[in-house]
């Protein structure tokens, strides 16, 4: 295998008994039994027990007494069968051991800040010593799973005729929905590149270039607040196809997902994946990425409350509710009200149906018999209401639904539900300015027949945008793109982008669209999100080798750091804040 070892630790079996060989790895544990020394030697493949007997190998025994956890060792000896009462059924190598004749310490370790594989270690400490964390079974499994998944996706893309094309990371800033990371150009002071939030326009240009099928595992950068499913830098399966419609793109993504499941020997989700419109998702689940492992659907109570004596209902544009399968206590309802307020509600109206079927609530005295009948529910359940404009109601009930699904453990363990959300609005109102802005990105085409609505009725135009959802996680988005310059210019006009600004920001794209652009569409799936879900991890940090924490800091290297004044001056940059006072804010 190499000059350092003949095999790895975790692959030895009873069939290797009698063989002489050399193994190398880390000392996982050491046990001194008053003469005999036992060392569990560990590498990425597993563990094997070393036995150092002073009668057999006195020099090795002397070395063995120096060993501490995480020393790197090389051991030469004979594979032997363990005594029947010494067999360890909990590890694959539990029936054999290595009787050591020669033992070498290749590298020593100082006392560790935590033990490899130790649980409940502070995450910042784990990331500060990520290389130690990597030695544990969890990170070994996750990073190798990552590799297997990406390899499977690459094979599938190759079989489908896609060409792997590298695109620039330093480019021109374009509206992608997040802030850009900027790169100053020393030779052109005052000018900056933006690190690509995605290869969006480059991949479209490969279609104009006649490549037909493009893909890459692209690294992207977005300056946005970090959370469980976000990192500053991340990878995505990025693809684009010419002469396709929506169904063609969705088929490719479904094939890639199935290939990944098969590669890790898991039952793949059945194809085709279910589809629902954006309008249906918001009406039934209050979210454009609903977790379909459980029901808890939203119901409409607007019409039955139009003449309600309960003013909150009567004066609201929309009244909707969901029925939770539990009769909540007052303390539980108070906590749920706080959740609702986090999503914008002023309060939380409810009706509790206790185990006897009796309805209790401060609002029942204001409700008519027709309203009470409409809001009737099974004994042992609670009706939770939201009233207000449609967006607020959907947001509040969607947030409550997600919270209850988690708190009441409504999702069936082990069930994997993939589905598509389609037919998104093309535009939405910007909350700050009130102007029309894109919902996906400004290069998304309207659905066939809605071209005229782009300027005449922006709020009524639907897009050919689609999202892939797995158990409530948005894995990625895509769309059929605009391939005609005049339609792209109309979208820009609706967004309030004047011709001069269009030319300054997107002139190269508009020019390409005027030089023979084919119909095309594509998708981008978050690789790290996909692998995190595949690994059953709660966040992306557990499947990324060297991630950032929520503050944006890198505990391992100490980045980001201030730069010397001389470096900044050479780049034509002057800071307006004290780097030390702003650290960690």
Distance CA 271, CA 119 (A): 38
- What angle separates helix 390-407 from helix 330-342, to the nearest 10 degrees? 130
pLDDT of residue 585: 45
Taking the CB of residue 335, how many other CB atoms lie within 10 A of it?
A: 14
Count of all residues that appear for the chain in the document: 585
Distance CA 423, CA 467 (A): 10
String of DSSP letters for 357-399: --EE-TTGGG--HHHHHHT---TTEEEEEEEESHHHHHHHHHH
* Coil/strand/helix, residue 87: coil
Q: Averaged in consecutive runs of 10 residues, what is the pLDDT profile of the chain (585 residues)? A: 93 96 97 92 97 96 96 98 94 96 98 95 97 96 98 98 97 80 93 94 97 97 88 96 98 98 96 97 97 96 96 96 96 97 96 93 95 96 97 97 95 86 95 88 95 96 97 96 97 95 94 98 97 94 96 95 92 80 54
- Produce one character per residue of 263-278: b if its CB has 16 or more CB atoms within 10 Å, e if not: beeeebbeeebeebeb
Within 8 A by CB and 6+ apart from 419, the residues are 273, 274, 275, 276, 292, 469
pLDDT of residue 579: 59
pLDDT of residue 577: 78
Strand partners, 194: 171, 182
* pTM recorded for the entire structure: 0.91
Distance CA 133, CA 441 (A): 39
- Produce one character per residue of 397-408: b if its CB has 16 or more CB atoms within 10 Å, e if not: bbbbbbbbbeee
Question: Are 105 and 25 contacting, i.e. CB atoms less than 8 angstroms apart?
Answer: no
Taking the CB of residue 308, how many other CB atoms lie within 10 A of it?
A: 21
Distance CA 491, CA 480 (A): 14
Distance CA 67, CA 85 (A): 26
Tracing tokens 């326009």 back to the chain, one arrives at 201
Taking the CB of residue 561, how many other CB atoms lie within 10 A of it?
A: 9
pLDDT of residue 227: 83
pLDDT of residue 13: 96
Taking Cα atoms as reference points, which of 272, 242, 296, 531 lies closest to residue 422? 272
Phi/psi zone of residue 152: left (φ > 0), alpha (ψ -120 to 50 degrees), beta? Answer: alpha
Question: Are 264 and 141 contacting, i.e. CB atoms less than 8 angstroms apart?
Answer: no
What structural domains does the chain harbor? Answer: 9-107 (2.40.50.140), 140-275+419-424+463-483+518-565 (3.30.930.10), 294-410 (3.30.1360.30)
């Amino acid at each position: 295998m190499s000059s350092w070892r003949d095999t790895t630790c975790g692959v030895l079996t009873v069939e290797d008994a009698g063989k002489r060989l050399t193994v190398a790895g880390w000392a996982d544990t050491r046990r001194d039994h008053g003469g005999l020394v036992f060392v569990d030697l560990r590498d990425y493949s597993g563990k094997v027990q070393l036995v150092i007997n002073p009668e057999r190998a006195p020099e090795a025994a002397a070395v063995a007494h120096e060993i501490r956890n995480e020393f790197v060792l090389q051991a030469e000896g004979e594979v032997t069968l363990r005594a029947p009462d010494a067999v360890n059924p909990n590890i694959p190598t539990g029936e054999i051991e290595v009787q050591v004749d020669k033992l070498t310490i290749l590298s020593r370790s100082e006392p560790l800040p935590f033990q490899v594989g130790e649980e409940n270690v502070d995450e910042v400490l784990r990331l500060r010593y990520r290389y130690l964390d990597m030695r544990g079974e969890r990170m070994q499994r996750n990073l190798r799973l990552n590799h297997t998944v990406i390899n499977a996706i690459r094979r599938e893309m190759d079989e489908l005729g896609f060409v792997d094309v590298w695109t620039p990371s330093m480019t021109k800033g374009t509206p992608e929905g997040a802030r850009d990371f900027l790169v100053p150009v020393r030779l052109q002071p005052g000018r900056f590149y933006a690190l690509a939030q995605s290869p969006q326009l480059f991949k479209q240009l490969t279609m104009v270039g006649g490549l037909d099928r493009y893909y890459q595992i692209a690294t992207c950068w977005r300056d946005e607040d970090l959370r469980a499913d976000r990192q500053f830098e991340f990878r995505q399966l990025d693809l684009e196809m010419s002469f396709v419609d929506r169904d063609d793109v969705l088929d490719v993504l479904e094939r890639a997902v199935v290939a990944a499941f098969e590669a890790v020997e898991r039952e793949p989700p059945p194809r085709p994946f279910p589809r629902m419109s954006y309008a249906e998702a918001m009406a039934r689940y209050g979210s454009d990425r609903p977790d379909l492992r459980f029901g808890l659907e939203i119901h409409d109570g607007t019409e039955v409350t139009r003449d309600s004596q309960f003013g909150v209902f009567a004066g609201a544009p929309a009244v909707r509710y969901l029925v939770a399968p539990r009769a909540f206590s007052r303390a539980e309802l108070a906590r749920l009200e706080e959740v609702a307020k986090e999503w914008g509600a002023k309060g939380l109206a409810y009706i509790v149906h206790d185990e006897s079927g009796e309805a209790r609530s401060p609002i029942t005295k204001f409700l008519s018999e027709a309203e009470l009948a409409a809001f009737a529910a099974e004994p042992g359940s609670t009706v939770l209401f939201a009233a207000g404009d449609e967006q607020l109601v959907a947001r509040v009930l969607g947030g409550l639904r997600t919270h209850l699904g988690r708190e009441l453990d409504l999702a069936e363990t082990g069930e994997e539900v993939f589905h598509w959300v389609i037919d998104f609005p093309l535009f939405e109102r910007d909350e700050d300015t009130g102007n029309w802005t894109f919902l996906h990105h400004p290069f998304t085409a309207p659905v066939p027949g809605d071209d005229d609505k782009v300027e005449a009725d922006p709020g009524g135009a639907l897009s050919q945008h689609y999202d892939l959802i797995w158990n409530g996680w948005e894995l990625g988005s895509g769309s059929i793109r605009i391939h005609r310059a005049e339609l792209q210019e109309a979208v820009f006009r609706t967004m309030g982008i004047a011709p001069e600004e269009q030319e300054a920001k997107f002139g190269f794209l508009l020019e390409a669209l005027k030089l023979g652009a084919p119909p095309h569409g594509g998708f981008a799936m978050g690789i790290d999100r996909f692998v995190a879900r595949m690994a059953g991890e709660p966040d992306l940090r557990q499947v990324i080798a060297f991630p950032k924490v929520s503050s944006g800091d890198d505990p391992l290297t100490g980045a980001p750091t201030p730069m010397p004044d001389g470096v900044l001056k050479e780049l034509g940059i002057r800071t307006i804040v004290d780097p030390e006072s702003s650290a960690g804010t």
